[in-house]
Structure 1
Amino acid sequence: MSENTLNNKLLLRYLGGLDENDLKFIEEQFDNLDVDFKHISYNGQITNSLTDFSLEAFYTLSLSSIFLRETIQHIGKNVVWESLKAIFIYTRDKLKNKEYSQITKDDVIKKPIKFGINAILDDNTTYNFELSGELSDELIDKSLDKMLEFLKEQKPNEKYEHTSYARFSSKNEEWETESLQEYILKRRKNN
């Protein structure tokens, strides 16, 4: 792992929807936690992605970071984790009902910005946790705690696998994951 992932760093990659005041507020919150915050806007850039399987705005958490590993070990009434959750919920609320334009060869389609957390366990194992949708604040809070529990239980992949996509089931109150291979097979079956 690079030296950057071993320090207290968080990255926000986003596709519009946040203004300079929002970013300044978020940065101040991370400063209070002694976390180095960086943000990258890719608004106006051409990207190639599977839109049903991608997040348009996300924080990247590297579990190789000592800071995050220690946070995972202390789930519950952890002041740092509660502060991080508040920042994630603030960002989610700011992006709620925001849209981006997807340009196809025939049309321009407005789509909702999907927000979440990109969690990197190691070079071979990554998850995208979607925090968009109609989940209540209470369920979002619970889903974030459950995300840490989920990550704590995961074993790193022996070889590289594409990012798995996770959605929180309000019915089961747990994260349900889908691999890229499962997603492609499902799409192929439905077409």
Structure 2
Amino acid sequence: MNKLARVLFVLLAGVALLSSCKDGKSYADLLKEEDKAVKAFFADKIVINEIPADSVFISLQDVPNNDTLAVPYYKLDTDGNVYMQVLEPGDLNDRFEKGNDVNLRFLRYDLKALVNGSNPDPVGNTNPSDYITIRFGETTLSSTTQYGTGIQYPMYFLGNECRVNLLIRAKAGFTAETSTVMPYLYFIRYNKSK
């Protein structure tokens, strides 16, 4: 490598390193911000740190007056990257099986903006003809894995046509967004593909 090429390489590496930290924040700082946002979101919510032994979750239909604040969020993984609030458990006689193609319609909100008092616009695909299809239990197919592991958790416990709110931290979120350390609150409907 000649001298000019070395200098250019060092300069490009420096630019890449500086631009990799959002607003000059380190990855550790972004993780702290994410943790702070998650804690703030759960401050006025009921959180249950384990999956019910019988896998029967309290849902919106189980509480008086459809009060979503009375429906708990359940921690679904040991690291606390995914929390689920069940709105409708779906058809528990028609469970998801690994290998099923499942259509998802969702809206997601930037959790940091939400807890900071701004009213973020949701992003997603709620139109009836606009959905994504993933293969439940798939760990290698990029059309599924690009959405992260967190989005699949409800299918292990609920039935076809279930609806949930999911809080997903960046580690379990969209793979392309892992480095942004952005937690999201999702509203998701799951339907088996016909």
Q: TM-score, normalised by structure 1?
A: 0.24
Q: Which has the larger radius of gyration?
A: 2
Q: TM-score, normalised by structure 2?
A: 0.23
Which one scores higher on RCO, CA 8 angstroms, separation ≥ 6?
2
